[in-house]
Amino acid sequence: EFKTMVKRLHDAGIEVLLDVVYNHTSEGNEFGPTLSFRGIDNASYYRLLPDDRRHYINDTGCGNTLNLIHPRVLQMVMDSLRYWVNEMHVDGFRFDLAVTLGREVYGYDRGGGFFDAIRQDPAMSRVKIIAEPWDIGPGGYQLGGFPAGTAEWNDRFRDTVRRFWCGHDGMLGQLAPNLLASSDLFEHDCRRPWASVNYVASHDGFPLADLVSYNDRHNEANGEDNRDGHPSNFSYNHGVEGPTDNVDIRQIRLRQRRNMLATVLLAQGTPMLLAGDEFGRSQGGNNNAYCQDNEINWLNWEDIPAEEQEFMDFVRRLINLRQEHPVLRRTRFLHGLQISKTNGLRDIDWISPGGGAMSDYHWQEPKARCLGMLLAGDAGEYFTPDGYPETDDTLLIILNAGHMTIPFSMPTVRGAAQWRCLLDTSRPQLAPGEFLLEKDDDFQMEPWTIMIFAMVVTSN
């Protein structure tokens, strides 16, 4: 059945990646049940405290830590992975608490045995590898610290985007590098922008709908007196905690959901969407629903309300927009470099509401909430891996996280005749090209909005 599923998904052009846990087992700590490896060879399969080998090292938060330093344990993990690739034909893996897999005797090592084994393996070296770049052990936060060929969940992107759309002060300077695939974290060792897996919601924490509906966690159903789950979510309920019949609040929540998903899909790097976010799935404010095998976690595809059907249509438009424009998914990092034979643009320009380049003042102004990102379509000839040009439209993406309308002047670009609006999160039904601006026009940028414009060049 699994093989048939994978084949059908492949026939539809969909790759299959498994979320796998090789960092701990269900045997828990030294007081847990004896189910498998503890009874076979406890000292080989688990990492034990050097001074008291009755007790486990717990770098995973689950009571035990698998000992991948031991050759037989590493062999077991690699045999398991190869089975899924060679026999089941999956296309890759997302490794839970991947720092644990790279722990050697003296701590985490991105050149450790597990990563070396993957790189030299004929099967594993050909598939996609995604790391959750942390565990709870010493030095456990390793975002950007994985070897070439590995993508990583970018929680800095997640938190920055959430804070930006919550209206926190001083976010422009933090947002910009994250929109460009976080080169400060991922450009080492010839890594590419796809190494940054950009997201605002995952199976850990609030889903997207709850990010705009709850200020606080509501984990009472988990049976731990609401103590479990992360207390800091960078969420905002817009005036009412949880569901509401207030039309204005419901509309702003929908708009903010559009904004956050648009930010994910318009950023350089690899976008990741949580299943159900495309139709407003809620966990009722539970941000740690791992133990809930019920309506809290289930995906309900029946009786989706009309406003959520419209939201799904908007998500489809976003995905199509990304697929249609290679300028949104460059294969090398953008650094504001001048491009020859173009209209004076650099590969990336940051535009202030006045239409000029962002200055130090704009970047450092704590109350600034609006900026434009100008992506040069002609930069494509410098960014294709096969050496062929892949030019595109020049796109201007404007983000306004403020609560006020902002006057915005279109930038002066040689050869520009008009700017054609492709998408507006404040008007999701707006058709591409329905709203046009002349090359030097000013307009009023709505609050809590993203707009995307394509430059229309002057005809010769």
Instruction: Tell me the pairing of strands 150-153 and 196-198.
Output: parallel
| Count of residues making up the chain | 460
Q: Dihedrals φ, ψ of 29, to 5°?
A: -85, -165
Structure tokens at 108: 């985490």
Contacts of 143 (CB under 8 A, 6+ apart): 133, 134, 152, 154, 155, 156, 185
Longest Cα–Cα distance in the chain: 80
Catalytic amino acids?
Answer: 96, 132
Helices (H) and strands (E) in the chain, counts: 12, 18
Report the alpha-carbon distance of residue 254 to residue 307 in Å, rounded: 9
Instruction: Characterize 261-288 residue by residue with b for buried, 16 or more Cβ atoms within 10 angstroms of its Cβ, and e for exposed.
Output: bbbbbbbbbbbbbbebbbbbbbbbbbbb
Matching residue, tokens 């800091």: 232
Which helix (H) or strand (E) element contains residue 84? helix 71-86
C-alpha distances (whole Å) from 434 to each of 213, 319, 346, 419 are 32, 20, 28, 11
The CA-to-CA distance between both ends of the chain, in Å, stands at 59
Contact 395, 455 (CB under 8 A): yes
Is the Cα torsion angle 175, 435, 328, 312 positive or negative in sign? Answer: positive
- Asked if 198 contacts 156 with a C-beta cutoff of 8 angstroms, the reply is no
